[in-house]
Each structure stands twice: as structure tokens, then as C-alpha cells.
């Protein structure tokens, strides 16, 4: 009898109750075995739960998806299903394409994550799924649009939004959408469930770029979709994920799992550090404006306070001397890192006018509060005195 190479190792451990890894294993396998042909038929028919093929599901990804779903529903009287995807953008595109068809509209805000705006304009609109951009703080306007346009099937939003930390009222938006039989989805990347649980306020779906705070170490790209309607999640979202191949992979999921273990202490520290930096910046004569939800001077402080437990690590501020001051600051900063991501344990700094928004028309950019001297900080977990020292020196 020749040695059966594939199962040689696995068979020694299969059904062995003494092999119980303390850490989540990385299941590096493209498919899963069946014991008998009958078992295979049952699983394929959906009569029996079981793993089939890595693109459909894998224990590493499913463990992480379940953990994040459990966090989003923590202390709420409900259950939800999570599905991991290959990136935050694939979570968003998979959700849109699973819920919407040609002729449907998505109602959303102008200051979305840039990639999401582009996805709506460049990929969904040509497929006949038209986005409608409006000010989601104007609830009368939102209601009128929902009433006049029954083709709006999804209300999609972010709070707080990049880079001015503008907030929208999750509870009021979800109530309006429900009144007009429209689904709601929220990008909860900036907050994580530790700071904000949108299900509590009636959201139907939550997506995350786990690349950011949920992982926190800046070493993987992945996303997750969480939904309260288990049937929609199974029949629409999971089906779209497996057929479009937007699945996550075991290694990136495993990296997210490691990050989740420290989420609470990281978010506490991000929030404490950001609050102190915001207060320091607000008192600086060369700083014209500070956008941080934890400052009573922020226009949306009260909305943020209503739905967020703490105010998180994201803030932006405007240097009074404009573009030149912005560029000078970026080159003078030493401890903080110039990198176009966010949510890491390291403090990251971005100058939107010369990077993320360099191709956006200046007038449009200014209208959205992205001025020439605006600097965005993703505040890390370093010693806050060191950070303030670095920022102070760079402002000059
Ligand atoms: C980064 C980000 C995304 C996209 O996530 P990727 O993992 O880069 O695809 C979506 N929304 C927000 C708010 C983000 O910050």
C-alpha cells in the first residue's frame, strides 16, 4: 500500500482529543475531506453543515468572523453573522453587489472613504446602480429623498467620517430608512465595536476594514461584513462572496485574530492620547482649527457622545499658514510616520491636500473641509508626551 501523502500527517491528529492548540491554527488548506461519498453529498446539498472548499469558508476565517460578530452584538439581545473578505473594499463591494441590482439606488454622503466614492462612481454606476450623494445630517432632506425615490434600497454611511470627523446620527438615519423599507449599512472602521455598536441603533449591516484598528499592527489587509438578517447573510452575502471570490485568506485572518486580543487596551490608549493631543493643539496659536470628536468645540460632539463610548484615535487639524506650513510640518515630523493608512499602534500622519486628495478639484476639496493646511493624525499608543513633543517641534 503506497503512503497516502495528503492525509499522512493529518490522520495522526484527526479526532485526537489531546491535540487542542492554545492558539488559533492557520488552516492552510484549499479544501476539506469527506469521510464518505454520502457525507459529501449531504454537505453539498446543504443538508449537513461542513466545510468544502477554502473559498467558501475556512476555520481560521470563520473563527475571526464570529468573534467580530460577537463583539458587534455584545450585550445586545440579538445574533449576527460575520463573513471575512479580502479587504475593506471587498467587504463594501460584496455587500453592495449582493443586495443591489440594476435600477436600484444607494443613498449616501459626499465625504465617504475615497475608495468607496470611487467604487460607487466607477464600478456600480456603470452597472446601473446609481449612487445619490447628500448631506446625511439633514434628516428632512434624507426623508424627502427616501419618500420620493423608492428605488433607494440601501442607505450607506460612515460616522465619524474622514478627515473632519463629521458625524451622523445612526439611530435617526436607521429609523428613517426602516420607515421607507430601505436597508442600512455602516462602515464602522474608525470606531470598532469597542467604541460604537451600530446594531444597537438599528443598523442592518456593518462593514469594517480590519486592516485598520481591528488588526492594529498594520500587517494585513482584510475586511468583514456583519449582518443581523441571518437568511440574507447566508443566501445573498455569502453566495456573492464565494462566487465573486472576495474571500479572505487564513494568514491575514490569523493576523487580525492576534490584533483583536489587544483591541480594548489599544482603543483606550488611542482615545486618551488623541484627547490630550487635541487639547494641546486647540491651545496652539499656529493651529487654526482642530477636528476631534472629544472636543466640545467639535460641531458633532453631541452626536458622537450619544453613540460612541470614547472618541477614538482619529483627528485632524489645520495649520494657520496653509499649504506651505502643511508641507513643512510633514518633513519636520520625526516620531510620527508619513503613511497613507490609519489605525496602527504607531502614530501616522497624512497631509490630504498633497496626497489622498491631490487629484480632487480644490474648490470641491475646500467645500468638504479639506483645506491646504489640514493634517490628519491617526494617533498611536506611544507615550503622549513624546508625541506632543514631536508635533510641537514640527509646527515650529
Ligand atoms: C481603509 C478603509 C477602507 C478600505 O479598506 P481596505 O482594507 O484598504 O480595502 C474602507 N473604509 C474606511 C473608513 C477605511 O479607512
pLDDT tens-place string over residues 58-104: 999 999 999 999 999 999 999 999 999 999 999 999 999 999 999 99
The answer on 229 and 128 residing in a single domain is yes
Alpha-carbon distance 173 to 192, whole Å? Answer: 19
Give the residue numbers spanning the domain of 93. Answer: 37-260
Please report whether residue 28 resides in a domain: no
For position 269, which CATH number holds?
Answer: 3.90.1150.10
Among 91, 109, 115, name the best residue to mutate to test ligand 1's pocket (greatest count of ligand atoms within 8 A of Cβ): 115
Q: Which of 156, 169, 187, 252 is catalytic?
A: 187
Residues 228 and 286 in one domain: no
CATH for 250: 3.40.640.10
Cis peptide before 163 (omega within 30 of 0): yes
The string of DSSP codes covering 283-313 is T-TTEEEEE-TTSTTSTTHHHHHHH-SS--S
Q: Edge-to-edge, what's the strand order for the sheet holding 81-85?
A: 81-85, 223-227, 205-209, 183-187, 152-158, 105-109, 130-134
Structurally, how many domains does the chain consist of? 2
At a CB cut-off of 8 Å and minimum separation 6, what does 363 contact? none
Q: Is residue 233 part of a domain?
A: yes
Chain mean position to CA 120: 17
215 with 286, same domain: the answer is no
Look up 55 and say whether it is catalytic.
yes
On whether both 91 and 216 belong to a single domain, the answer is yes
Quick check: is 138 catalytic?
no
SS3 369: coil
In this structure, the answer to whether residues 320 and 176 fall within a common structural domain is no
- Beta pairing class for 287-291 and 314-319: antiparallel
Average pLDDT for 182-210: 98
238, 260, 282: which is the final residue of a domain? 260
User: Residue 308: which region, alpha, beta or left (left: phi > 0; alpha: psi -120 to 50)?
Assistant: beta
CB atoms within 10 A of CB 300: 20
Tell which of 226, 260, 294 closes a domain. Answer: 260
Catalytic residue among 67, 81, 113, 200: 113
Query: Is 374 part of any domain?
Result: yes
181 with 298, same domain: the answer is no
Tell me what percent of the residues of the chain surpass a pLDDT of 70: 96
Kindly state whether residues 239 and 194 are assigned to the same domain: yes
Higher pLDDT, 1 or 304: 304
Q: Based on the domain organization, do 251 and 285 belong to the same domain?
A: no
Q: How confident is the model at residue 331 (pLDDT cuts 50, 70, 90)?
A: very high
Whether residue 178 is found in the same domain as residue 42: yes
283 and 180 in a single domain? The answer is no
279-to-274, 293, 297 alpha-carbon distances in Å: 8, 11, 10
Q: Are residues 225 and 285 in the same domain?
A: no
Q: Whose CA is nearest to atom 5 of ligand 1?
A: 88
> pLDDT band for position 14 (50/70/90)?
low
Residue 223 Cβ < 6 Å to ligand 1: yes
Of 27, 42, 55, 268, the active-site residue reads: 55
Tell which one of 85, 89, 207, 339 to mutate to probe ligand 1, the residue whose CB is within 8 A of the most ligand atoms: 89
Atom number in ligand 1 closest to CA 91: 9
Mean of the pLDDT values across residues 126-151?
Answer: 98
Asked if residue 156 is part of any domain, the answer here is: yes
Q: Is residue 7 scored above 60 in pLDDT?
A: no
Q: 212 CB less than 6 Å from ligand 1?
A: yes
Question: Which of 240, 260, 280 is the C-terminal boundary of a domain?
Answer: 260
The answer to whether residue 21 sits within a structural domain is no
Residue 282 domain-assigned? yes
List phi, psi (to 5°) of 66: -65, -40
Q: 294 pLDDT band (50/70/90 cuts)?
A: very high
| SS3 of residue 152 by DSSP | strand
Query: Tell me, what's the pLDDT at 304?
Result: 98
Mean pLDDT of the chain, nearest integer: 94
Cβ(371) – ligand 1 distance below 6 Å: no
Task: Confirm whether 24 is domain-assigned.
Answer: no
Detail the DSSP E strand segments found in 149-264.
152-158, 183-187, 205-209, 223-227
Q: Does any ligand 1 atom lie closer than 6 A to the CB of residue 65?
A: no
Neighbours of 396 (CB within 10 A): 11
CA–CA separation, 96 and 155 (whole Å): 11
Is 21 a residue whose pLDDT tops 80?
yes
What grid cell was written down for 324? 506651505
Q: What is the pLDDT of residue 43?
A: 86
Q: Is 116 part of any domain?
A: yes
| Residue 11 pLDDT | 60
pLDDT at 247: 98
Residues 47 and 155 in one domain: yes
Residues 247-291: tens digit of each pLDDT: 999 999 999 999 999 999 999 999 999 999 999 999 999 999 999
Contact 78, 197 (CB under 8 A): no
pLDDT digits (tens, 9 = 90+) for 226-246: 999 999 999 999 999 999 999
Per-residue pLDDT, 13: 64
Q: Is 163 left (phi over 0), alpha (psi -120 to 50) or beta?
A: alpha
Amino acid at each position: 500500500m503506497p503512503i497516502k501523502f495528503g492525509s499522512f500527517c493529518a490522520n495522526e491528529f484527526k479526532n485526537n482529543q489531546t491535540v487542542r492548540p492554545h492558539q488559533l491554527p492557520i488552516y492552510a488548506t484549499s479544501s476539506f475531506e469527506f469521510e464518505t461519498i454520502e457525507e459529501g453529498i449531504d454537505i453539498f446539498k446543504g443538508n449537513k453543515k461542513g466545510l468544502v472548499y477554502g473559498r467558501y469558508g475556512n476555520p481560521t476565517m470563520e473563527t475571526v468572523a464570529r468573534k467580530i460578530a460577537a463583539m458587534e452584538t455584545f450585550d445586545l439581545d440579538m445574533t449576527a453573522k460575520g463573513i471575512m473578505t479580502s479587504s475593506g473594499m471587498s467587504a463594501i463591494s460584496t455587500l453592495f453587489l449582493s443586495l443591489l441590482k440594476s435600477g436600484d439606488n444607494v443613498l449616501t454622503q459626499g465625504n465617504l472613504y475615497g475608495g468607496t466614492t470611487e467604487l460607487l462612481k466607477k464600478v456600480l454606476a456603470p452597472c446601473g446602480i446609481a449612487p445619490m450623494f447628500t448631506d446625511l445630517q439633514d434628516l428632512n432632506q434624507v426623508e424627502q429623498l427616501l419618500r420620493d425615490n423608492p428605488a433607494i434600497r440601501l442607505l450607506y454611511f460612515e460616522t465619524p467620517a474622514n478627515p473632519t470627523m463629521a458625524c451622523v446620527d445612526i439611530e435617526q438615519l436607521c429609523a428613517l430608512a426602516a420607515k421607507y423599507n430601505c436597508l442600512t449599512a455602516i462602515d464602522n472602521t474608525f470606531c470598532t465595536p469597542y467604541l460604537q455598536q451600530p446594531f444597537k441603533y438599528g443598523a442592518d449591516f456593518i462593514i469594517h476594514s480590519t486592516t485598520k484598528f481591528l488588526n492594529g499592527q498594520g500587517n494585513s489587509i482584510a475586511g468583514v461584513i456583519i449582518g443581523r438578517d441571518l437568511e440574507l447573510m447566508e443566501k445573498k452575502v455569502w453566495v456573492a462572496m464565494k462566487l465573486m471570490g472576495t474571500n479572505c485568506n487564513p494568514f491575514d485572518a490569523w493576523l487580525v485574530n492576534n490584533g483583536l486580543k489587544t483591541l480594548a487596551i489599544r482603543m483606550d490608549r488611542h482615545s486618551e492620547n488623541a484627547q490630550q493631543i487635541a487639547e494641546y493643539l486647540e491651545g496652539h496659536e499656529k493651529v487654526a482649527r482642530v477636528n476631534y470628536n472629544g472636543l466640545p468645540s467639535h460641531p458633532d460632539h453631541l452626536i458622537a457622545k450619544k453613540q460612541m463610548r470614547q472618541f477614538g484615535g482619529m483627528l485632524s487639524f489645520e495649520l494657520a499658514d496653509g499649504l506651505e506650513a502643511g508641507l513643512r510640518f510633514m518633513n519636520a515630523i520625526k516620531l510620527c510616520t508619513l503613511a497613507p493608512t490609519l489605525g496602527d499602534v504607531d502614530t501616522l500622519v497624512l497631509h490630504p491636500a498633497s496626497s489622498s486628495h491631490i487629484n480632487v478639484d480644490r474648490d470641491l476639496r475646500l467645500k468638504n473641509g479639506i483645506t491646504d493646511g489640514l493634517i490628519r493624525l491617526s494617533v498611536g499608543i506611544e507615550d503622549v508626551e513624546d508625541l506632543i513633543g514631536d508635533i510641537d517641534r514640527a509646527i515650529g
